[in-house]
């Protein structure tokens, strides 16, 4: 019969003591870490008895170097040696095998040893740090804190600009597949509206408040919301915190509905950035589906189409929503309910595209990942020309000849935003007959994405100025930048938790 090892003994004890553990739980007792703990306990006991390695070695008949290997957690003792050690140290075997580190110091040393064995730590390429007796606890604590931060930053979903743009492109592909109409979310919204007694037309403030309590939440308006968030939901006390004053598309009403959207749609903490984006799109969709219920919007649009008076501003008016939200909701309904294919863009005065959707064959500028956000829109498109229109806040209409055909577009600078953004909806030439503004005489020609259209300077100018200009670039928009890591990208969790703590005791 072979001499059982300490591991065998531990294993045996484990089964004796821990039969209540679930079977899938790992047997941590046999991992490296427990050998380290064992070594720590051995060293602690030896020192507390005032013995050197040589003293102890003599009593158990082993070389000091062998005991040193044991104390450093690099070798596993056989049961016979374990018993000899216990006898020499005048302590029961159990004392040596206990899982708790013998002291704060030992605990720190074990944690550091464990950290250094982590493959993630090893990727740093540092040589193994041997902990000497004189290394202060503070130094070890410091290293462990850095290691903790390293783990946190590597294991949570983060998004590089490339990942963010890829995730966006994938999402757009899915929206395209469904004609930007999400029937399942429409259903959840419809059921929610039924549950709170919605009777048709625009949704009243009272209905919205009923909706909040329908989900078992209370509302609280505050002035000190963390800067990185638009709302915070306290799931423990079931409270939704909102900032009192908001501008533009993100009025408290829409933020509130997006928050409830996450709850209504059973969203879990996002697993990665793509998941985060998908959840945000779905929650926004839910919010719009409540404020502009399908059952009210569809008859309204069908009638407007029959009268050849389709427009976005009427929709925004009737349902008291921003122009952007109305235009977006229009895209949810157009293909599914009106048989219209169309495109939608949001861009700033420089032509930088923030949002885009198309299923009418229009070809957007895009990068190698298929991302459109952050690209520059053709100078000849309506979204650019609207900024030069005489009255830049009325709706601008334009026909544009492009390599994929002629399109008719309506474009409007949404006045509900702090910054100027053009919101554009467009359809193929033959579909313009259903819209108000089809009699426009504005007509432009675009050869984009051909670089000679407008993306490269005209040759005469280039010849004159090449090498003679030194522009200073303005910092770029958020769609292009790295989002800070965290379970919710871009959100400062420390701020959020501090905020919740501050308010939950009120």
Residues that bind Zn ion (CB under 5 A): 378, 446, 448, 453-454
- Asked if 233 contacts 240 with a C-beta cutoff of 8 angstroms, the reply is yes
The residue (of 399 and 434) whose beta carbon lies closer to Zn ion is 399
By three-state DSSP, how is residue 443 classified? strand
Please give the Cα distance from 499 to 355 (Å, whole number): 31
Min. distance of Cβ 414 from Zn ion in angstroms? Answer: 23
The residue (of 274 and 378) whose beta carbon lies closer to Zn ion is 378
Min. distance of Cβ 448 from Zn ion in angstroms? Answer: 3
> HSE of 130 in the Cβ direction (CA atoms, 13 Å)?
3
How far does Cα 76 stand from its chain's mean position? Answer: 45
Min. distance of Cβ 429 from Zn ion in angstroms? Answer: 18
Q: What residue has token string 């009699």?
A: 439
Q: What residue has token string 């007959």?
A: 433
The residue (of 363 and 477) whose beta carbon lies closer to Zn ion is 363
End-to-end CA distance of the chain: 68
The residue (of 283 and 378) whose beta carbon lies closer to Zn ion is 378
Min. distance of Cβ 26 from Zn ion in angstroms? Answer: 60
Min. distance of Cβ 446 from Zn ion in angstroms? Answer: 5
- Asked if 77 contacts 96 with a C-beta cutoff of 8 angstroms, the reply is no
Structure tokens at 7: 């591991």
The residue (of 81 and 378) whose beta carbon lies closer to Zn ion is 378
Min. distance of Cβ 353 from Zn ion in angstroms? Answer: 13
- Asked if 189 contacts 462 with a C-beta cutoff of 8 angstroms, the reply is no
Structure tokens at 382: 């309506």
> Residues 274, 277, 279, 281: is their CA dihedral positive or negative?
negative
Min. distance of Cβ 384 from Zn ion in angstroms? Answer: 9
Phi, psi of 429 (to 5 degrees): -45, -45
The residue (of 180 and 352) whose beta carbon lies closer to Zn ion is 352
Please give the Cα distance from 251 to 330 (Å, whole number): 20
Calculate Rg over the CA atoms of the chain: 33
Q: Which long-range contacts (CB under 8 A, 24 or more apart) does 161-165 make?
A: 161/480, 161/481, 161/482, 162/369, 163/273, 164/273, 164/277, 164/479, 164/483, 165/367, 165/369, 165/371, 165/373, 165/374
Please give the Cα distance from 392 to 411 (Å, whole number): 10
Residue nearest to Zn ion (CB): 378
Min. distance of Cβ 346 from Zn ion in angstroms? Answer: 18
Measure Cα distances from 99 to 18, 286, 442 in Å.
13, 51, 80
The residue (of 453 and 482) whose beta carbon lies closer to Zn ion is 453
The residue (of 118 and 450) whose beta carbon lies closer to Zn ion is 450
The residue (of 150 and 453) whose beta carbon lies closer to Zn ion is 453
Min. distance of Cβ 440 from Zn ion in angstroms? Answer: 20
The residue (of 284 and 446) whose beta carbon lies closer to Zn ion is 446
> How buried is residue 243: exposed, middle or buried, by Cβ count under 10 Å (0-12/13-18/19+)?
middle
Min. distance of Cβ 455 from Zn ion in angstroms? Answer: 7
The residue (of 201 and 405) whose beta carbon lies closer to Zn ion is 405
CA angle 489, 183, 410 (to 5 degrees): 75
Among 378, 383, 447, which residue's Cα sits nearest to residue 411?
A: 383
Min. distance of Cβ 503 from Zn ion in angstroms? Answer: 51
């Amino acid at each position: 019969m072979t001499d059982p090892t300490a591991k065998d003994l531990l294993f045996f004890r484990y089964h004796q003591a821990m039969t209540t553990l679930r079977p899938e739980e790992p047997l941590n007792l046999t991992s490296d870490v427990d050998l380290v703990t064992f070594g720590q306990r051995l060293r602690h006991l030896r020192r507390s008895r005032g013995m050197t390695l040589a003293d102890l070695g003599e009593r158990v008949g082993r070389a000091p170097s062998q005991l040193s290997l044991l104390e450093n957690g690099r070798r596993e003792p056989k049961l016979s040696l374990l018993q000899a050690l216990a006898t020499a140290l005048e302590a029961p075997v159990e004392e040596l095998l206990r899982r708790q580190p013998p002291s704060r110091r030992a605990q720190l040393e074990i944690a550091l040893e464990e950290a250094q064995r982590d493959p993630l730590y090893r990727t740093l390429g540092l040589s193994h740090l041997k902990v000497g007796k004189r290394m202060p606890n503070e130094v070890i604590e410091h290293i462990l804190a850095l290691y903790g931060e390293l783990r946190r930053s590597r294991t949570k979903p983060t998004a590089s600009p490339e990942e963010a743009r890829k995730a966006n492109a994938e999402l757009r592909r899915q929206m395209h597949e469904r004609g930007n109409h999400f029937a399942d979310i429409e259903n959840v919204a419809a059921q929610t509206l039924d549950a709170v007694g919605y009777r048709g037309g625009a949704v009243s403030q009272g209905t919205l408040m009923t909706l909040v309590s329908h989900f078992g939440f209370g509302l609280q308006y505050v002035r000190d919301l963390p800067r990185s968030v638009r709302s915070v939901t306290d799931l423990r006390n079931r409270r939704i915190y909102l900032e009192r004053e908001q501008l533009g598309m993100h009025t408290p009403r829409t933020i509130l509905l997006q928050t409830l959207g996450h709850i209504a749609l059973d969203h879990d903490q996002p697993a990665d950035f793509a998941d985060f984006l998908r959840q945000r799109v779905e929650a926004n969709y839910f919010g719009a589906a409540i404020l502009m219920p399908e059952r009210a919007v569809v008859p309204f649009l069908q009638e407007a189409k029959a009268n050849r008076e389709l427009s976005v501003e009427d929709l925004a008016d009737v349902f008291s929503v921003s122009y952007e939200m109305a235009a977006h909701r229009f895209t949810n309904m157009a293909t599914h309910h009106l048989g219209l294919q169309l495109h939608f863009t949001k861009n700033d005065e420089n032509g930088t595209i923030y949002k885009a959707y198309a299923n009418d064959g229009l070809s957007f500028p895009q990068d190698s990942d298929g991302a459109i956000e952050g690209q520059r829109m053709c100078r000849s498109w309506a979204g650019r020309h609207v900024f030069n229109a005489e009255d830049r806040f009325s709706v601008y209409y334009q026909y544009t000849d492009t390599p994929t055909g002629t399109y008719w577009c309506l474009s409007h600078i949404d006045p509900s935003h702090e910054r100027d953004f053009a919101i554009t909806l467009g359809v193929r030439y033959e579909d313009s007959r259903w819209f108000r503004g089809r009699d426009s005489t504005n007509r432009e020609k675009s050869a984009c994405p051909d670089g000679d259209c407008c993306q490269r300077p005209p040759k005469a100018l280039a010849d004159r100025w090449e090498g003679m200009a030194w522009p200073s670039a303005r910092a770029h928009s958020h769609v292009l930048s790295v989002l800070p890591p965290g379970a919710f990208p871009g959100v400062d969790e420390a701020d959020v938790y501090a905020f919740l703590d501050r308010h939950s005791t009120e």
